[in-house]
Structure 1
Amino acid sequence: MSFDAAQTRGRQSPGLRGVYAVDEGFAALLSGSGLRAVRQASGSYILIDLDAQGALELDATTVTGSRLDATTGGSGSYTTGVMGTATRMPLSLRETPQATTVITRQRMDDQAMTSITDVVRNTPGLFLSRSNGPGRPAFSARGFDIDNVMYDGLPSAYQGWVVGVQPNLAMFDRVEVVRGATGLVTGSGNPSAAINMVRKRPTIDPQVRLSGGAGRWDDYRGEVDVSGALNDSGTLRGRVVGAYRDAHSFRDEEEHDHGLFYAIAEADLSERTTLALGFSRQEDQTNFFWGGLPIGIDGRHLDLPRSAYPGTDWENKEQKVNTLFGDLEHRFDNDWRLRLAAMSSWQDALFSGTYLRRDPALDMYHYAYQSGHDEDQNALDLYASGPLQWLGRSHELVFGVSRRENEMTTQEYTGNGFIPVGGARPDFVRAGKTHNITTQEGAYLTTRLSLADPLKLILGGRLDWYEYDNRSGNGDYKVTRNLTRYAGLVYDLDAHHSLYLSYTDVFQPQTQKDNAGKLLEPVVGENYEIGVKGEYFDGALNASLAVFQIDQKNRASLLADQSGCSTFPTSSCYEAAGLVRSQGVDMELQGALSENWQVGAGYTYTRARYRKDDDPANEGERFDTDQPEHLVKVSTLYHLPGQLEKWRVGGSVYWQSRVYNDVALSGGTYRLDQGSYAVADLLLGYRANEHLDLQLNLNNVFDRTYYSAIGYDISWGSTDTYGEPRSYLLTAKYTF
């Protein structure tokens, strides 16, 4: 904030009570003063005298940088000031000793993102896989699948190939991503990444935002976002978001629609206590979600038209998820705070679909399948955090407990099987169900020690009790007191650069047993990382370079000698001896290059190889050939200066290296591949006035033809899936 001292002479402010974002805080501070804080493109603020007539002169004003806070809505930035996904501590990107990215509200709007799949596709270091079918996306990072998605810091199980719901971005302020092992905050999982979806919160100032869009293939979408204080004092605030999208596709006959309702209320129970309660309901429907296009019996692409639809006219996928969430926070006099957060979600899903498959004679059929899924997830987290003094220096401490529960009921049907290509819907009849409950309880502690002014050490640990209860039969297992460790050292080289190194890990229970009939120890993913981070313009621009190594060890390996196996030949025995090693480089730049220029760019190289496996032929080979080793993602937005200041231009480039599968044939194998490819998008925006904004997005401008997923079997695995051709979307936004 910078201003002329004469502007504030003789004026008073009532001060602040409660928790505010920056813009809201300034509005409350200056209420009734005749002054207004106006944010500049650089992130700094100036004071405007509302009572002044004509032009306002600020002879002694100097515009300087102003640090961003966590909330990104309205900031216009491609980065954020602080994030707590890695450690529960509100640290800047530079202070966090892991590779981190934030996809801000501005970036979501610029690239017309609508779901988490758009976020994954555009986030450096993350890979969006369609190998399970177009409607069952999977996410990965550093060579391993992502199996957790967090909401406001609470982890939730994600299985995109089963029933994973695709969160609608209309209700989120930003998405925070931490790459590598993240067991300190998620508990169990793979050493890939944590994706934290941070919801929008109510504002004090009233705001109404309407948005409508229309695009190629009858893609129509609308959104309304209303927020503001619900009483005169501003101690009670609310926000409601509604969104709907109805669209077809470049594939013939394909269609889908998505609906969202989101509401949240926030109340200051006292000067130091805030309660928030919210509810969301999301409904998604599509008639194409499973298999893709088949490959030839020679293992090659059939090169069918991109518009080819491999489904039938009766299939359908419906998902409905209701979520109730809330948090209660109390702030003590000594800068400590206590936070309790909880979330419950109930998902109902019914899948009726087909995929193309060949029988043993290699004749083509549709394989029909139907299943119903009822998934309930609950999460609870209670923690305290704050500063402490020790040996004359100030440090930080976080400690807490958490609990997760996932209850899944799957309804099975008869009628699943081969039908003629394009055949009528079978008579599906309920035949039974499976029911299982997974619970995980944990206790964690993290501290950030100030060893010296430029040197900070972060140490953390977590104990987890994990239990899987198969209510449908045998197969129960548990893990008791699993220890997860975290260590990070950050050294400030100068005012703008820091060097860091870190160790993190995560565990994943497994069901295989050894010769003694004992469950194998959990798979452990260890992440070693060293890097350098840069922070410029008071945090408006962040840069990073990291080198990492991940060892996923204790993987189940089939024993070559089963003579000592008490359950053989009914079931085989294993040992925890497998090892996969992932090594690579992570580079990123995010934020403002100038007052008018935002950029988000990253390059990732990942080399994941089997080091030890029960199949010696795998050792030294790629862990997953469906994932590219090189990824480049660049997004940018530039506001034109001078007389063209109402215009903005931008675009993005996505590039990935080659992927392949070795397809088994009767006489050997054929290597089916998708070579490296690049896709470019463009953006043109025009702000007609202070209320109306227009934007045109052109995607795949050069109409590049490519496969976003490739098949792997001539009989099974018809997942050749084309990427989207050239498309456009025109969006109008009205704010008042």
Structure 2
Amino acid sequence: MFSPKPFKPCRALTLAVHFALGAVPLLAAQPLQAQQQIKRYDIPGGPLGDVLSRFARESGLAISFNAGQVAGLASAGLQGSYAVQEGFAQVLRGHALQAQASSDGYVLVEVPAANGALELGATSINGQMLGSITEDSGSYTTGPMQTATKLPLTIRETPQSVTVITRQRMDDQNLRSLEDVLKSTPGMSMTKDGPQRPTFYARGFTVENLMNDGLSNDLSHYLSRDMNSAPDMAIYDHVEVVRGATGLMQGAGTPSAAINMVRKRPTADPRVSITASAGSWDNYRSEVDASGPLNDNATLRGRVVTAYQTRNSFQDVTDSERSVFYAIGEADLSDNSTLTLGVSNQRVNNTATWGGLPTAIDGSDLHLSRKTYLGNDWEYWDQDNTTVFSRLDYRFDNDWKLLLAASRTWSDLKMLGTMTERMGDGGEVFGQYLGQYHYDDEQSSYDAYASGPFQLLGRTHELVVGASRRELTFEGKGNYSDDAIGMDIYNWDPGSLPKRELDLSYWHQDRETSQTGAYLTTRFNLADDLKLILGGRLDWYDNDTSTRNGSRAPTGSDYSVTRHVTRYAGIIYDLDVHHSLYASYTDIFKPQSELDAAGAAIEPMEGKNYELGIKGEYFDGSLNASAAVFRIDQQNRAKTLELNECSALVPSCAEAAGKLRSEGIELELNGTVLPGWELGAGYTFAQVKYVKDSNPANEGRLFDTDIPRHVFKAFTTYQLPGELQRWKVGGGLYRQNQIYNKGNNFYATESRYRIEQEAYTLVDLMLNYQASEHLDVRLNLNNVFDKKYYQSIAGNTGYGGNLYGDPRNFMLTTRWSF
């Protein structure tokens, strides 16, 4: 049972002031968080008695219990690094039992319910060493993760900036899509080329890979991004974001971030939850999540998650329908091996325009209403994504492990839509740019690696050796048309035009991409307080693209990269029991299709990330803090050459000479600040400038002015003490600086434009009531002060691209758990 102890307001204020002044180590020194010996465990789920016995054996202690106490009970097992008491808490999670110290070791006892108190479970999260699964932890941080290096490292042990959005944070903040999650993640930004086309950025660069349980999906081409960038969060336990160059695990990409979505896993104890939500603009959503053992000894476990959502919008005509299905099964083939099989499907049917709202010819705001819809009521943007995946874990007796994983995703997009377009010599007439397209995208990802300890010079070190392969096949077809219809954008009728269908044989593209790599990572335990991580990767990359427009001859690009070497180095020094200094170098490569004067593909871009930082870990890892400074150089960018520098063979050629530089700082705090108080907050400053470019006038200028450079994000919740413990209050704050785009108009000579969104602040509130052990009710109120702002602005005045952010809105959610 988790029952926060009442405390005096003056004591709470004193602790908060100490925290604000950097006195977190004083709190961490309290007896509840006394340091214990920590060991790493990998105990599979099964009958509770068996799991307890194995934990006792591996930890070298004794525990006494009788068969009646554990009869019919199961445990999810134990994976990760834990002290003894925290290991017991994790093994006994979900049961009204606890391990108490005695003269002969430990004894298993029942946990009585306090009189009049709400019984929330047998495990308190405070002072508990967190594992790699965040579900039921109640925390805003997590334990070991493998996104950066494949080594199971905590946030403090990882020599890069890391953020984890946990299941508890997603539920508290009502984050239902990846777009919602990344809006709340420090260091992440987003632009949109239309309501359904998000592009994510970190440290000024586009994110080109999404990972599911460590397996990548390629988003390097914007057409693949259109189909795969909006997964629903119902099926995920948490999202890990490692910022900077992450080529060691991903191979090709940009020096932005690795986003790893970790799926929910089956549980060894039976559980069912039913969630129903209702909110602004007829926003209705339901979820069912059922998990548990499939046989008596819990060696077979399964889980099914379904979600269905329909919603309208603050914008006229716009609506959406979404369905999600997820099924996963785990089988313990032996004491040492576990097989996982799963499938997921997500379908989204949107009625939405292709673009956004226009600006004046000089880029100034036209002050259109937020409800303005300049498309037609027959437009659609429909996506269908299906993934099957498998994984085999084998644990050797010498603490080495072998993992084999594979996934395949089929994605389909059908769209018919318009965007507002300026037409005529002066650009004073508005028309519609109509497009109809059908894309099919198939991606396969495979990974195999072995990891474990080895002995060298009297110390134990860790090693990972692995190989991976990614394959992508894309086929697209479509057509487009311009219509100068003389739109009255202030009085537009979305039902005034008949539906139009285009000949989809006009445009056609085929694309095949593959990447094969081998990688190695090792962590050297140089001293008790000094660790060195070294890694390397060798990649082979191939791309073949063919595009046909109308009757013109097909154009194509065929390029490859052979034996590209990616490097990783990080060093971590423990200043004391709570703080570590780190320095790291990481890189990543991105192939380019441009040709040099001889007709060969120019060498790949290379992003080099240099980072220095300090990390703090308090309350046995329940609170994590970090501060980092970074520099990223993306060099070898294609730089167009003059005609006299090219050749008759390649009249338009380039060289790998361009360079961008990103510099900034990141500050972050996540986890349990005080009993019942969870906080996730971060400030980021990042700016990217041209160092070398085809246009010398660009050198020294900002690269992407429509991405904010200063961003502060925070969300916090507090469970009230004493008799009010059923109530939890929370709130969020988002602040960003001004963004803009400027340039020359191509509709009017000697005319310039500047499109901008001034700095703005958003405030959210949350109220949660635990009605009973099984029923939870939550209210989320977003954009409390109804700030009117553009979440994304147009790149020019030719097409409508401004997109309003959501006005004030609410969502009421009830969750039944059994």
Structure-1-length-normalised TM-score = 0.93
Q: After superposition, what is the alpha-carbon deviation per residue over 1:329-382, rounded to whole angstroms, capped at 9, x for unaligned?
A: 100001000000000010111011000001133211111100000000000000
Of residues 294-303 and 203-212 in structure 1, the stretch that sits farther from structure 2 once superposed is 294-303
The equivalent of 1:604 in structure 2 is: 684
Q: Distance in 1 between matches of 2:107 and 2:662?
A: 48
Q: Distance in 1 between matches of 2:714 and 2:92?
A: 39
SS in 2 for 1:162: helix
The equivalent of 1:356 in structure 2 is: 420
Mapping for residues 99-498 of structure 1, pairs under 5 Å: 99-130=161-192, 132-158=193-219, 159=222, 162-361=226-425, 362=427, 363-413=429-479, 416-418=481-483, 420=485, 421=487, 423-431=497-505, 433-470=508-545, 474-498=556-580
Q: Distance in 1 between matches of 2:99 and 2:805?
A: 43
Q: Check whether the contact 2:353–2:376 (CA below 8 A) recurs between aligned residues.
A: no
Residues 55 and 578 (structure 1), Cα distance of their counterparts in 2 relative to 1, 3 Å cut: closer
Amino acid at match of 1:731: T
Q: Check whether the contact 1:16–1:28 (CA below 8 A) recurs between aligned residues.
A: no
Q: Check whether the contact 1:553–1:578 (CA below 8 A) recurs between aligned residues.
A: yes
Amino acid at match of 1:438: T
Q: After superposition, what is the alpha-carbon deviation per residue over 1:541-600, rounded to whole angstroms, capped at 9, x for unaligned?
A: 00000000000000010113534423354xx11111000000000110000001110000
Deviation of 1:663 (Å): 4.1
SS in 2 for 1:538: coil
The equivalent of 2:631 in structure 1 is: 549
SS in 1 for 2:772: coil
SS in 2 for 1:562: helix
Q: Check whether the contact 1:135–1:289 (CA below 8 A) recurs between aligned residues.
A: no
Deviation of 1:667 (Å): 2.8
Q: Check whether the contact 1:124–1:602 (CA below 8 A) recurs between aligned residues.
A: yes
Q: Distance in 1 between matches of 2:126 and 2:430?
A: 67
Deviation of 1:8 (Å): 6.5
Q: Flag structure 1 segments of 5+ consecutive residues without an equivalent.
A: 40-44
Deviation of 1:715 (Å): 1.9
SS in 2 for 1:269: strand
Residues 98 and 306 (structure 1), Cα distance of their counterparts in 2 relative to 1, 3 Å cut: same
Mapping for residues 72-83 of structure 1, pairs under 5 Å: 72-83=134-145
Residues 401 and 644 (structure 1), Cα distance of their counterparts in 2 relative to 1, 3 Å cut: same
Mapping for residues 503-582 of structure 1, pairs under 5 Å: 503-560=585-642, 562-569=644-651, 572-582=652-662
> Taking every aligned residue pair, what percent have the same amino acid on both sides?
49
* Equivalent of residue 649 in structure 1, options 722, 729, 733: 729
Residues 52 and 141 (structure 1), Cα distance of their counterparts in 2 relative to 1, 3 Å cut: closer
* Equivalent of residue 801 in structure 2, options 690, 695, 719: 719
The equivalent of 1:42 in structure 2 is: none
Q: Distance in 2 between matches of 1:90 and 1:329?
A: 15
Residues 289 and 463 (structure 1), Cα distance of their counterparts in 2 relative to 1, 3 Å cut: farther
Structure-2-length-normalised TM-score = 0.84
Q: Check whether the contact 1:553–1:577 (CA below 8 A) recurs between aligned residues.
A: yes
Residues 229 and 24 (structure 1), Cα distance of their counterparts in 2 relative to 1, 3 Å cut: farther
Amino acid at match of 1:497: H
Amino acid at match of 1:465: W
Which structure has more helix as a fraction of its residues? 2
Residues 583 and 628 (structure 1), Cα distance of their counterparts in 2 relative to 1, 3 Å cut: same
Q: Distance in 2 between matches of 1:264 and 1:337?
A: 22
Q: Check whether the contact 2:318–2:351 (CA below 8 A) recurs between aligned residues.
A: yes
The equivalent of 2:130 in structure 1 is: 68
Q: Distance in 2 between matches of 1:384 and 1:494?
A: 32
Mapping for residues 19-58 of structure 1, pairs under 5 Å: 19-20=77-78, 36-37=97-98, 48-49=109-110
Residues 271 and 250 (structure 1), Cα distance of their counterparts in 2 relative to 1, 3 Å cut: same
Q: Check whether the contact 1:276–1:327 (CA below 8 A) recurs between aligned residues.
A: yes
Deviation of 1:427 (Å): 2.9
The yes-or-no answer on 1:84 pairing with 2:150 is no
The yes-or-no answer on 1:699 pairing with 2:763 is no
Q: Give the CA RMSD over aligned residues.
A: 2.7
* Equivalent of residue 690 in structure 1, options 758, 770, 773: 773
Q: Flag structure 2 segments of 5+ consecutive residues without an equivalent.
A: 1-31, 34-61, 101-105, 118-122, 488-493, 548-553
Of residues 299-308 and 45-54 in structure 1, the stretch that sits farther from structure 2 once superposed is 45-54
Of residues 139-148 and 286-295 in structure 1, the stretch that sits farther from structure 2 once superposed is 286-295
Deviation of 1:148 (Å): 0.4
Q: Check whether the contact 1:18–1:235 (CA below 8 A) recurs between aligned residues.
A: no
Q: Distance in 2 between matches of 1:38 and 1:156?
A: 43
Residues 201 and 46 (structure 1), Cα distance of their counterparts in 2 relative to 1, 3 Å cut: farther
Residues 27 and 242 (structure 1), Cα distance of their counterparts in 2 relative to 1, 3 Å cut: farther
The yes-or-no answer on 1:671 pairing with 2:754 is yes
Residues 109 and 386 (structure 1), Cα distance of their counterparts in 2 relative to 1, 3 Å cut: same
Mapping for residues 3-18 of structure 1, pairs under 5 Å: 11=66
Q: After superposition, what is the alpha-carbon deviation per residue over 1:241-277, rounded to whole angstroms, capped at 9, x for unaligned?
A: 0001100010011101111000000000000000000
Q: Distance in 1 between matches of 2:716 and 2:650?
A: 59
Q: Distance in 2 between matches of 1:199 and 1:418?
A: 45
Q: Distance in 1 between matches of 2:757 and 2:93?
A: 59
Q: Distance in 2 between matches of 1:609 and 1:505?
A: 19
Q: Distance in 2 between matches of 1:596 and 1:680?
A: 22
Residues 38 and 434 (structure 1), Cα distance of their counterparts in 2 relative to 1, 3 Å cut: farther
Residues 10 and 136 (structure 1), Cα distance of their counterparts in 2 relative to 1, 3 Å cut: closer
Amino acid at match of 1:87: T
Amino acid at match of 2:263: R
Residues 156 and 632 (structure 1), Cα distance of their counterparts in 2 relative to 1, 3 Å cut: same
Q: Distance in 2 between matches of 1:209 and 1:623?
A: 47
SS in 2 for 1:475: strand
Q: Distance in 1 between matches of 2:740 and 2:113?
A: 67
Q: Distance in 2 between matches of 1:62 and 1:230?
A: 28
Deviation of 1:669 (Å): 1.7
Residues 692 and 21 (structure 1), Cα distance of their counterparts in 2 relative to 1, 3 Å cut: farther
SS in 2 for 1:120: helix
Q: After superposition, what is the alpha-carbon deviation per residue over 1:635-691, rounded to whole angstroms, capped at 9, x for unaligned?
A: 101000011110000011011111011142433323221111000000000000001
Q: Check whether the contact 2:227–2:412 (CA below 8 A) recurs between aligned residues.
A: no
Q: Check whether the contact 1:18–1:272 (CA below 8 A) recurs between aligned residues.
A: no
SS in 1 for 2:334: coil
Q: Check whether the contact 1:207–1:228 (CA below 8 A) recurs between aligned residues.
A: yes
